[in-house]
Structure 1
Amino acid sequence: MKKIFIIILLVLTADGFAQTVYSSNNSCGIVRYFSMTNVAEAVWNQPNDSTGELHFYDQKSQVSCLVSVGINPLAEPVYIGSSDLFSEVKIDLKSQSALRLTIKEKQNSEPFFLTLPATPTSIAVPVDYKCFSAVRHIAFETEEGRDSVSMTIEHMYPVPAANTPKADSLWFIKAICSMYEGLPVDAVYPDDMIKNFDISYIQDYTSMYESGEAEIDEFISNWEIYDEVSVLFQKNGLLGFVSAGYEYTGGAHGLYGSVNYTYDSQSGKLLTLEDIFVINYESILETAINDQLRSDLNLAPDALLSDEGFFVEVVTATQNFILSETSITFHYNVYEIAPYAAGSIDITIPYSDLKSIIPAGGVIERMME
């Protein structure tokens, strides 16, 4: 991956030195969209130079599949994989304007061919991922000699691909920036978000260990922070994305979590449950969530969730949700409803179980189209 620029800042201290190394705007993935009305949709996700994924959705039969392939960056972009729907799929990405698929449903069946044009950028903005990092080293003298500790911060953010029309780029950036509160009108995405994030952590880390406020330990003094924003979907004026992160700043273990967002270009805002369900939806949705959780855990209706380690007996709906063409998923981060050992918990409910609270012509119907 090409590094646009690297900055090294060096600060001398009484007992050694502190150094921060920055790298910025490294290419670290792409997402491209292809579609044909009433036929199929496809999303090509290439997170690195060695792997790629094709998410394929058949609009006629309303079924989807995932085709994962290995990539040779030195060869032409033609890949062969398989899925639970197809015995073999040949993915031809030589043209930027169209995706060409050669599909065998069964091993010995005759292939059929499908060409999907690139989705217009007014419907789905092609995405490039950019990675940034900052590494803070603090060196110090010990009885055995010089030693050091470090803090590593890594970011990944989506940006509109090159040559995306300005109007489409602006609405995409506006959608992503909608998750930030109190953002200055002249803020530059994603540079200013990263700068403010890094400055805060670097100041805290430096003040703790250079001032002697915290004792340096070779195990717990090496901090790690990872921050990423990923696009989940673009469909009918809706943009789904997730902000996820991990941080280890000392202690027994690190913490991780994610927050999901859905931005509606029609209303120009982030959606809440109140925007996607009818009024007084709460009790029906809560029942569906708890029924699904018990089904996932194979629990009897009268079993206590506390016996399974949960903090609550009734799980309430969270605004941390993910939409798809067929279902809504509620995401609970560690410690929200269960201990760290339980990990994050996802509860997915098919729209077919929520028909009575889905309004006609609303957001969910736009996802299902």
Structure 2
Amino acid sequence: MRLPFLPIILLASVLSACDNSSKLADETVSSLGISYQMREFKRQGGSKCPETTTVKAEDTLCASVKFSYPEISSVTQPELASKMNALIKQQLLDQIEGAPSELAETQSLESFADSFIQDYTQDSNNFTSWELERSVRIIHNTNTLLTLLFEEFGFTGGAHPFNGSRFIVLNLADAQPVSLEDLMNPGYEAALNVAGEKAFREARQLTDHSSLEEDGFNFANNAFVLNDNYGVNKDGLSFIFNSYEIAPYVMGPTEFTIPYEDIRSLIRPNGLLGSKAQ
């Protein structure tokens, strides 16, 4: 049975600081004095939202937004902390795929959530709930680099939810994004793709010489090529192919790590990752 649209909006929001206040790795704290505290923002609105009404779970008609992210602070490097916080906020307001949104530079978490909820409540054809969760996590750092992982999950109707993940590597000297070209020797691409395909096949449990196309993956000319969605961690360079990027949704995303031992000769010895070079 189709339920009538009720123009009653119940709106609730929460901004809190979790108890897990943390410092980055000791080497970063000693050299830069950076620490962070995890923050969480929640907002929901709709005609039948949990926590604001006595509605049963199966009768919920609500749009909910949740952000979780690290808030960076530094007594000795306040400008650096401010730049990092601005970048984290922009990542929360940008979608995983596609070009960066111009609104992300001026929009707040609150106005973004309000807009999402407004879209939901103004759509009279919605007979299910919407949700959007975005998070930013610090997954690795040295005294020169910081790797962030941005993750997104949501549902706005349709056959299935949407989700995705994106790495961002920052130079801790200026909070600017670091590309693979910044870390690797010139002409690294072919050798890195070879090492990447090995790690990819291991992660997907594929044989060494099977056809990627026959295994269900869509690479141009059936030749493996890495994307630029990479992160630096303690064991190597991690990469993520999101759902739909190289395979149907049902096959899910693929995450894998290329060990440093396989690519030491490709790393710039005097670069930000120089300690991992031969």
> Into which bin does the TM-score normalised by the smaller protein fall?
0.7 to 0.9
Q: Say whether 1:327 aligns with 2:236.
A: yes
- Residue 47 (structure 2) aligns with: 138
Higher relative contact order (Cα pairs below 8 Å, separated by 6+ residues):
2
Question: Which protein has the larger Cα radius of gyration, Structure 1 or Structure 2?
Answer: 1
Query: CA–CA distance in 1 between the matches of 2:42 and 2:120?
Result: 16
Secondary structure at 2:202 match in 1: helix
Instruction: Say if 1:326 and 1:16 are closer, same or farther in 2 by CA, change over 3 A.
Output: closer
- Given the alignment of the two structures, is residue 32 of structure 1 paired with residue 42 of structure 2, yes or no? no
Aligned pair in 2 of structure 1 residues 302, 341: CA closer, same or farther (>3 Å)?
A: same
Give the SS at the match of 1:302.
coil
| Equivalent residue number for residue 309 of structure 1 | 216
Query: Residue 44 of structure 2 contacts residue 117 of structure 2 at CA under 8 Å; is this kept in 1?
Result: no
Q: Report whether the alignment pairs 1:360 with 2:272.
A: no
Question: Does the 8 Å contact 1:136/1:150 carry over to 2?
Answer: yes
Structure 1 residues 124 and 261: alpha-carbon distance in aligned structure 2, compared to 1, 3 A threshold: farther
Q: TM-score, normalised by structure 2?
A: 0.79
Mark the CA change 1:176 to 1:334 in structure 2 (over 3 Å): closer, same or farther. farther
**Counterpart in the other structure of 2:165:** 258
Query: What is the distance in 1 between the residues matched to 2:83 and 2:64?
Result: 28
The one-letter code of the counterpart of 1:228 is: S
| Matched-pair contact (CA < 8 Å) for 1:178–1:270 | no
- 1:1-369 equivalences under 5 Å are 15-27=6-18, 29-33=20-24, 35=26, 119-120=29-30, 122-123=31-32, 125-138=34-47, 149-160=61-72, 164-165=74-75, 167-178=76-87, 180=90, 193-209=108-124, 214=125, 216-217=126-127, 221-266=128-173, 268-312=175-219, 313-366=222-275
CA RMSD of superposed structures (Å): 2.7
Match of 2:55 in 1: none
The more displaced of 341-350 and 25-34 is 25-34
Against the structure 1 CA distance between its residues 354 and 361, is the aligned structure 2 distance closer, same or farther, given a 3 Å change threshold? same
Greater fraction of residues in helix? 2
- For 2:47, the aligned partner's letter is I
Tell me, in whole angstroms, the C-alpha distance in 2 between the residues paired with 1:245 and 1:287. Answer: 29
Residue identity opposite 1:204 in structure 2:
D
Residue type matched to 1:23 in 2? V
Amino acid at match of 2:179: T
**5+ residue gaps, structure 1:** 1-13, 42-118, 140-146
Residue type of the alignment partner of 1:155: F
**Kept after mapping to 1: 8 A contact 2:71/2:85:** no
What secondary structure sits across from 1:208 in the alignment? coil
Query: Are the structure 2 counterparts of residues 168 and 367 from structure 1 closer, same or farther at C-alpha, using a change threshold of 3 Å?
Result: farther
TM-score (norm 1): 0.61
**Structure with greater strand share of residues:** 1
Q: Give the number of aligned pairs.
A: 250
Cα distance change of structure 1 residues 28 and 248 upon mapping to structure 2, 3 Å threshold: farther
